[in-house]
Structure 1
Amino acid sequence: MAETESYPPIDPTNFDLIVVGTGLPESIIAAAASTAGKSVLHLDPNPHYGSHYSSLTLHDLTSFLNSQSPNPRINPHQSTTEASDHATAALDLITRPLYSDVEISSYDDSVSEHSRKFNLDLAGPRVLFCADLAVDLLLKSTANQYVEFKNIDSSYVCDGNGNLMNVPDSKSAVFKDKTLKYSEKNQLNSFFKLVQGHLEAVKSVGTGVDEGKVISEEDLERPFVMFLDKMKLPPKIKSIILYAIAMVDYDQDAGESCKDVLRTRDGIDRLALYHASVGRFPNALGALIYPIYGQGELPQAFCRRAAVKGCLYVLRMPVISVLLNKDSGNYKGVKLVSGQEITSDKLVMDPSFTITSSPSEALQDVSKVFDAGKVSGKLARGICITKSSLKPELPDTSSCLVIYPPRSLYPDQATSIRVLQLGSSLAVCPSGMFVFYISAVCDDALEGKKSLHAAMDSLFSVHTSGTTDSSLTDQIESTEVKPALLWSALYVQDLIEGFMGPVVMTPTPDGNLNYNDLLRATSKLFQQLYPDDELFPEIQNTDSSDKLEDDSEVDIES
């Protein structure tokens, strides 16, 4: 009894919507529902916001990953539960792990001494494009006032010989690039000009614009790589466009064996997003930005927006069962670890929960109420900490993105590997250290770990505490010095898509660099929950300028 008394009672006990988990999709739905005038209770069993989209200290991240088990776990506060009345059935909640094959290594004890100075993204690498859906949603919801950003300084792509090439993202960048031949610059500029002409023509349909500028419908439907070949673009330029600008995962030259072929139409849209992002904000001269203090700031921004609109928040509050009406089998509410029962019209849960029927209950079809969602794929993720930058000769480049296209590191590399370097200016690590996020889509843990280790071998050297000065000197004399790896965490994450039913499940973080697909899925779930309500209706804002507060922080405003 003493244990339950430590949990505060919740009042009122009935809501329009209960949301369990404070990940980005759940937080957006809670904020949108609150904005639409719904009464919302937002719960999280964790002591922090963000769920699978959190930014955690080194100690908290290590504890979280080590707590993952290959077997589903019943809530430690829970035994088989029963509802408080005979007309209600209780289905136990089980936590299923989304992470496996955790591999944590420490090569320098000094890293753990600064544990609390790290904000490490569980779902990295992530960035926002300055013109993408996440930025638009932050502006539309006014959640942008709760988060600030900084520019990603540069992007590189591996050329297959181990060399990192700059990614030219505009006509002026192409002109300044010293790694491209004059003929290659002309080819890339001509292609960008063609794409720009097509986009302008599409916007001006019916206004008499020369339709010769429009890419044919036949070309738009064919694979993008075939269109690039038709434009006679050399392999280097194709690689930049496909993997560093369009951000494709799978080898597009693999023909019919490619698991996800990008159509020209979609490729053009991705190029348009990239170029629309370049220079959108005065202090974000490139295409990409990153939130100060980590990606975990994004769900917190929407939680703050929801709280302003009346959403009630309770952290450290596990839900131990879902309540159903015995006669109809319909969802009715939830039972908390405190023993309190809360009712609502609708329930949204993050994907780490699944429901099982109690042996004492006669309900035969749990799937009528809840679908746990099937694992649709896997992601290999890595977090690495060093004391030096990937480009120490460029002191102004503390953050950068590196893309390793398929087959650029080893012959059977099936997918792109993305690496994001961040420095202390983004408040994600102590001064003098750097954080690297690595990710690759994979079919299984063995393949994923191979991709991560290949990228790490290319980027870092490993120096243990016993490394001798002579061995370090030999390395300096023989090869270019790589950043020394101080600490790393590798793990494999399950991919689960969102599901709409009487109980709604949100999607896990996906393998994309930005949030566009996740936001589309979240918007669809909200529209199915509340078809008569808009996801954040437009608000009249008297200040229509995009401005910055100082020379480094990107304050996005509508």
Structure 2
Amino acid sequence: MEEEYDVIVLGTGLTECILSGIFSVEGKKVLHIDRNDHYGGESASYNLTQIFNKFRPGKEVPQDLGRDRDWNVDMVPKFLMANGELTNILVHTDVTRYIEFKQISGSYVYRDGRVAKVPATEMEAIRSPLMGIFEKRRMKKFFEWLATYKADDPSTFQGMDLDSMSMNEVYAKFGLEPGTKDFIGHAMALQLDDSYLTMPARETVDRIVLYLQSVARYGKSPYIYPLYGLGELPQGFARLSAIYGGTYMLDKPVDEILYDDDGKFMGIRSGEEVAKAKICIGDPTYFPSKVRAGDKVIRAICVLKHPVSGCDNADSAQIIIPQNQVGRKHDIYTTVLSSNHNVVPKDHYLGMVSTVIETNAPHLEIEPAIKLLKPISETFMGIATLYEPLEDGKADNVYISRSYDATSHFETTTDDVKNIYRRITGKDLVLKKRPTVDEEQAAQA
């Protein structure tokens, strides 16, 4: 450890591991440290013993829950958009060679007390209970426009100025009803709340297009998920970093962050050992004085022995409860997984609920989602505070990531990756295509 590096990375959350992989590929000498004995930081996947140690310390694990190794439970439940930025990064860096993915069976939305499938095809749209017959025609026109829309070609905007028009005005142009706006905005654009309605429409239009393109990639739903849990993602990028010379140390305490006389980062101390570098990347838990606390998020892990009602007996699903369906300011997200994803034993399911906390009784705030999952065998609840850096890192060369938010996917995480990269290097992240396995073997021969 006692040598000079280009970059020291603290914490093995997904954001940190992606950046460590990227900088290693670019030829930087990277030291990556985590005080924990496992990968993933806040975004780790836990086995049964780890879950009980975290949520019920001292309690014995019930025998009927099966083997420890059959459980890989995400502490931050999310899916990947099939056509999203994280998927593009995984493909481009060929980290996909270490991870196998499975498609999520369906995307659902809560409306008027029941769950309905978000249409993935024209036929599903025609049969959908979410809209009446005339509304289906109007929505068809809306989607026909989106099929021709190109973000960099204003001639495809049908005369609309998407940078000045609000999303409400775009919906109005197509005559869409409040209920339709609701499920498009929350279950397709995946907006967290209704504030997007009065903002410039371009971002929401781009989000809906991403959703539709992700559905088109594999059919059924826009989401994919790694077998054995999301903890596989940081490990995949850690392997990438290691192949390109990155040094990893788990279960390594960081006793002191070292700065020079100008207040700039110069290294870290662990016990008697010192490692030096000019740049540090780390998660918020390593820099409590350099971050601000934001929203709090409640996350509930529910163990089920049945598929979720209203989801066509699907082995996996995303269920979104839009805020105004339950009189809230933020949506409630539920992810459903099963033994087909190697995260629970056979005949078990996981229902994981998350939302931004608005009251002093957060467990009651997620009750609408909990009702959809019943009967529930075991429930584990946790509350997390979301942190973000106070400064951009340029003054002291300490670049801090943001906490993982309540969104149901990783698009905000990849935004953070690109933002940190830009702050460090002064340029946009452009990934170099990694050689295939065959090309790498040929180069070594």
TM-score by length of 2: 0.89
CA RMSD for the aligned pairs? 2.7
The residue type paired with residue 279 of structure 2 is K
SS of 1:134's equivalent in the other structure is helix
Q: Deviations over 1:499-522 (max 9, x none)?
A: 532222111111221111221121
CA-CA distance at 1:311 after TM superposition: 0.3
Alignment of 1:174-193 (within 5 A): 174-177=125-128, 180-193=131-144
State whether residues 66 and 345 of structure 2, in contact with CA within 8 Å, keep that contact through their aligned partners in structure 1.
no
Q: Distance in 1 between matches of 2:372 and 2:64?
A: 19
Q: Does 1:374 align with 2:292?
A: yes
TM-score by length of 1: 0.72
CA-CA distance at 1:541 after TM superposition: 6.2
Consecutive unaligned residues in structure 1, runs of 5 or more: 1-9, 68-103, 206-210, 253-257, 356-370, 462-483, 544-558
CA-CA distance at 1:542 after TM superposition: 11
CA-CA distance at 1:270 after TM superposition: 0.9
The residue type paired with residue 434 of structure 1 is Y
Alignment of 1:507-526 (within 5 A): 507-526=402-421
Q: Distance in 2 between matches of 1:47 and 1:212?
A: 52
SS of 1:37's equivalent in the other structure is coil
CA-CA distance at 1:534 after TM superposition: 4.7
Q: Does 1:353 align with 2:286?
A: yes
1:538 matched residue in structure 2: 433
Alignment of 1:371-520 (within 5 A): 372-391=290-309, 394-395=312-313, 397-409=314-326, 412-443=327-358, 446=360, 448-456=362-370, 458-461=371-374, 484-498=375-389, 499-501=391-393, 502-520=397-415
Consecutive unaligned residues in structure 2, runs of 5 or more: 439-445
1:121 matched residue in structure 2: 74
Q: Distance in 1 between matches of 2:175 and 2:429?
A: 45
Q: 1:415 to 1:393 in 2, by over 3 A?
A: closer
CA-CA distance at 1:114 after TM superposition: 3.8
1:33 matched residue in structure 2: 23
2:145 matched residue in structure 1: 194
CA-CA distance at 1:29 after TM superposition: 1.2
Q: Distance in 1 between matches of 2:421 and 2:264?
A: 20
Number of aligned positions between the proteins = 434
1:277 matched residue in structure 2: 214
2:164 matched residue in structure 1: 221
Alignment of 1:309-324 (within 5 A): 309-324=244-259
SS of 2:296's equivalent in the other structure is strand
Q: Tell me which structure has the larger Cα radius of gyration.
A: 1
Please, which moves more after superposition, 259-268 or 145-154?
259-268
Q: 1:260 to 1:61 in 2, by over 3 A?
A: farther
SS of 2:324's equivalent in the other structure is coil
Match of 2:241 among 306, 309, 318: 306
Q: Does 1:50 align with 2:40?
A: yes
State whether residues 107 and 221 of structure 2, in contact with CA within 8 Å, keep that contact through their aligned partners in structure 1.
no
Q: 1:315 to 1:295 in 2, by over 3 A?
A: same
Q: Give the share of equivalent positions with the same residue, in percent.
A: 24
Q: 1:63 to 1:225 in 2, by over 3 A?
A: farther
Q: Distance in 1 between matches of 2:212 and 2:316?
A: 20
Please, which moves more after superposition, 226-235 or 426-435?
226-235
Q: Distance in 2 between matches of 1:524 and 1:39?
A: 21
The residue type paired with residue 274 of structure 2 is E
Match of 1:249 among 161, 184, 192: 192
Q: Distance in 2 between matches of 1:137 and 1:105?
A: 41
Alignment of 1:1-12 (within 5 A): 10=1
